[in-house]
Structure 1
Amino acid sequence: MPLFSARSRSLQQMPLFSILYTDGASLLFVSRSLHAVRQPQYNEYKIYNEYKSKIMEALESNVGRVAITTDMWTSDHQMKGYMAVTTHYIDDGWQLQNRIIRFCYVPAPHTKEVITDALMDCFLKWNIDRKLSTLTVDNCSVNDGVIHLLKDRLSPTTMILE
């Protein structure tokens, strides 16, 4: 019985996904952990929103420009496109900060219009459309068209150089 109690206590302290991937006997405790997820301190969505608001505050208080890098790829098995958008900026303490601000599914076909729409949506949601300094893209052939469309959609006052 003491071994069972110690095991039960250690399982209650483990994250939900750890419990799901342990041996079969541990599955008895999954329902207890599922209830714990509903508690505010374990609410991943709340944690995400807090982290997002901190990044938004840092980007809004930043008087300088931000650089953006994007990476797009297609999953091997499902042939679905995904894009990661990372922002790079210098904070108030003169430290370079890098944050992934968007990881999204990009619907097919992956045309310059579709990718441009996804990027503009990201820029507008994060209020960085007027703070862009540079945009670095991967070697996808459609990205040349994306750059031209973005230049047309962004306000000319946001551009450093034409």
Structure 2
Amino acid sequence: MQRIVNLLVVKDDQVLLLKKPRRGWYVAPGGKMDPGESIYETAVREFTEETGAVPIDPHLKGVYTMVITDGTGEHTINEWMLYTFVAHDLSGEPFETTVEGILEWHPVASLHTLPMAEGDRRNLLFAVSQQGVQYGTFHYTGEFKLLKETIQNSMEGDGNDGS
């Protein structure tokens, strides 16, 4: 099972998002874990590689199972784990464009309306607006139409001293 980590920086009521060229959808910068790497190390490495900036004090906000099915929801085609981190500052100036897409700052409220996978929308909105950690499973068709979701929230502290 593939392990993916993404990291959302929230600063001055703005979020740094990556617009992917294939669908024109927005995502938080991130990518695949390397063998032997922790999810924290992956979050910092992938964010830095994709943005040219370094996140300050990132912390885990969500753990998700993403399931791609044949459309009926009965047969799994692909499955991966997604770990979502958030940071409230960064060091350095982010790139404008990368091989992964275009980096753009958007108001936090735009997470409600920007084009993106619905599971991403839910986990990024949680990351910017709720305390604790969220756990969930998202079932999609091959075209990323959300079929169903299961979400649990932990109200324990999220490791951010400002919470």
TM-score, L = length of structure 2? 0.24
- Structure ranking higher in helix proportion: 1
**Greater strand share, structure number:** 2
| Greater gyration radius | 1
